[in-house]
Structure 1
Amino acid sequence: MARTRIPPVAGGLAAAVAVALAAACWVLFPPTVDGRASAARPAVDLPLPWPAEGQASAEVQGLGSLGSRGEQRPVPIASVTKVMTAYVVLKDHPLAAGEAGPRITVDEQAEAESTSSEESTAPVRAGREIGERDLLALMLVPSGNNVARLLARWDAGSQDAFVAKMNREAAALGMTSTTYTGASGVEDSTTSTATDQLRLAREAMKNDVIRAIVATASLRVDGVPGDVVNTNTLLGRHGVIGLKTGSSTAAGGALMWAARAPGGALILGVVLHQNPGGSPAAGLRAALDTSEALISAIQRELPAATR
């Protein structure tokens, strides 16, 4: 095969482009002392009260990263897992805004699990038909683990088959430090990082149905007694419009959150591993408190930093 000869001018131009790209990469991803690439510098550098423990990451859409803190190593994420569950279900069974979706029959397993005192559940009864959207709400708002597993079985035939889909989606999104082992997050073996979960938050908030459900403070579902109340108590404060809480003894407290900045830009953040080893309730309170301080500071500092 004949060789293609690059003219001197074209070859020089190619070399110049390569040098320029290498320089740009050096600026954006400066090497660490051991030669590995470091994380990108924040696009917007604000004085923020990052959590003293665990890990966190945040960004402003349209502006870029606000940075990350803490060692980004995989840790249990508890019910934050359910954001990926909703993402996969809606990718397989998309709904238009306001659409109820197909009616799904509650099975005996979901009813049996609804009385568990060991995990968060939603009170559903076997044989009752509930629309897809309402089941997604029962999973995301009060954090019903039994509903997450019911949706997984409905979507893929078994929870194991559904988990395989979750991990494929994580890989497709570039979540290289994430492993899902269940649809609800009750398993401590489901682990991720704040930076990985921030990638998911970015995609989840593009979905009209997820965005509407996670912004709901409380709702009623036919056949489910009483008001269904959101575990995310930051809703409506500091511009918060979602996303999802998580808590367990191993995970501590976790929160994936979305808020509107002054001017309307979407702020996304994830806080993980707050007060691990303590009670789940104490961990969740810590995650909510540290997230509230972080969101409040971003709301305060961002306008001046972006003028």
Structure 2
Amino acid sequence: MYNPLPLIQRFFAALALLVLLAGCATTPPDSVLAVPAPAQKYAAIVVDARTGKQLFEVSSTAQRYPASLTKMMTLYLLFEALDSGRVSKETQIPVSDHAASQPPTKMRFRRGESIDVDSAIRAIVVKSANDVAVAVGEYLGGSEDQFAAMMTSKARQLGMTSTTFRNASGLPDGGQMTTARDMAVLGMALRQRFPQQFHYFSESDFMFRGRLVRGHNDMLGRVRGVDGIKTGYIRASGFNIVTSYNADGRNLIVVVMGADSARQRNDHVEALIQRSLSPTTDGAKTRLMFAEQ
């Protein structure tokens, strides 16, 4: 549901919360306060993934464009197919004309080529490859539209009540919406449901056909304990990220949406992690849950 406050009130409410946050973080205040400038795009939430407690939020139930965070659900359904035995890591996924025609970022496959499931997972996680995400959707759903319906159905099963998927990649579609809260639920679900596959989200590069493919999730290696998950950007969304922190007995899911740049987004995530690990943090006690499969 949308926040009932008028837009300008929501902006100043978010700003006030972030001023408080800046006082608790070691990151310079300017880098924190710069993030929510486009109030119609910004949203954030931090959840303790072990308890489901909400530690921080701003506009976490407001509708936002997921961009490539969409691919987290594409991967969720691919991991389910692996678990059920429908596919193996060696299964070849064909690339159709429709998949090959997707705009970058992509692996630049041609029609008739194929990619094995293991490489497809890495291409989606590391490269955020739109052509591969669509090929996976077509393979599992019969068509991308049918796969998007499967994605939305799975979202409801997980408790993502405000998310609608229209494609497998996150490329612009006015009907494809989510919330920061729902993305946190999905991040928690991926870790808890597929611990044996979660290592993919910590990869920052991979080899494919003799060349090194590098990723752009700069949170990996920046903060000790960060082990995934996914970035996203389209013009309508701003810079989005879902980040998993897992160290020293703490497991956090941090979602930031709508930043003006990747640098602002990453600075903000780091500040939120620092705040959430502080023993003086007095977070809300709201519990986020997702349904068992």
- The change in CA–CA distance for 1:244 and 1:95 in structure 2 (over 3 A counts) is farther
Cα deviations across residues 175-230 of structure 1 (Å, max 9, x unaligned)?
11111111101124211111111111100112135411110011112x3x621112
Percent identity for Structure 1 against Structure 2: 27
Aligned to 2:72: 83
Q: 1:167 is matched with which residue?
A: 152
Offset at residue 243 of structure 1 (A): 0.4
Deviation at 1:68, TM superposition (A): 1.1
Given that 2:172 and 2:234 are in contact with CA atoms closer than 8 Å, whether structure 1 keeps it comes out as no
Whether the 8 Å contact between 1:242 and 1:257 is mirrored in structure 2 is yes
Cα deviation, 1:54-90, whole Å, max 9, x if unaligned, reads: 1111112334221311362111110000001110122
Which of 235, 242, 262 is the equivalent residue of 2:228? 242
- What amino acid maps onto 1:293 in structure 2? A
- Give the match for residue 56 of structure 2: 67
Amino acid at match of 1:220: M
Give 3-state SS (helix, strand or coil) of 2:274's partner.
Answer: helix
Structure 1 274/94 Cα, relative in aligned 2: closer, same or farther at 3 Å? same
Q: Distance in 2 between matches of 1:122 and 1:228?
A: 9
Of 240, 253, 274, 1:296 maps to 274
1:266 to 251, 254, 257: 251
**What SS does structure 2 have at the residue aligned with 1:227?**
strand
Residue 216 of structure 2 is matched in structure 1 by 231
Structure-1 separation of matches of 2:279 and 2:186: 23
Equivalence for 1:40? none
CA distance in 2: counterparts of 1:154 and 1:286, whole angstroms: 37
TM-score (norm 2): 0.75
Distance, in Å, in 2 between the alignment partners of 1:95 and 1:259 is 28
Aligned length in residues? 246
Aligned to 2:206: 219
TM superposition shift of 1:237: 2.4
| Cα deviation digits, residues 20-56 of structure 1 (max 9, x gap) | xxxxxxxxxxxxxxxxxxxxxxxxxx85668544111
What's the counterpart of residue 58 of structure 1? 46
Q: Deviations over 1:152-190 (max 9, x none)?
A: 001011001001100101111111111111110112421
Greater RCO (Cα-Cα under 8 Å, separation 6 or more) = 2
Give the conservation status (yes or no) of the 8 Å contact 1:163–1:180.
yes
Contact 2:46/2:253, CA 8 A, preserved across alignment: yes
Aligned match for 1:192, one of 178, 185, 190:
178
Deviations 1:133-156 (A, max 9, x none): 210111121101111111000101
> Kindly tell me: are residues 305 and 249 of structure 1, through their superposed partners in 2, closer, same or farther at Cα, counting changes over 3 Å?
closer
TM-score (norm. length: structure 1): 0.72
From 122, 137, 141, give the equivalent of 1:152: 137
Unaligned residue ranges in structure 2 (runs of 5+): 1-20, 26-31, 284-293
- Counterpart mapping for 1:75-114 below 5 A: 75-94=64-83, 100-113=89-102
Query: 1:188 touches 1:250 (CA, 8 Å); kept in 2?
Result: no
**1:204-215 matches, cutoff 5 A:** 204-206=190-192, 207-208=194-195, 210-215=197-202
Counterpart Cα distance in 2 of 1:302 and 1:170: 33
Whichever of the two has the greater Rg, that structure is 1
CA RMSD of aligned residues (A): 2.8
| Displacement after TM superposition at 1:112 (Å) | 3.9
For residues 173 and 304 of structure 1, do their structure 2 counterparts lie closer, same or farther at Cα, with a shift above 3 Å needed? Answer: closer
Residue 126 of structure 1 deviates from its aligned partner by 3.7
1:180 partner SS: coil
Q: Give 2:217's aligned amino acid.
A: N
Distance of aligned partners of 1:250 and 1:295 in 2 relative to their CA distance in 1, 3 Å threshold: same
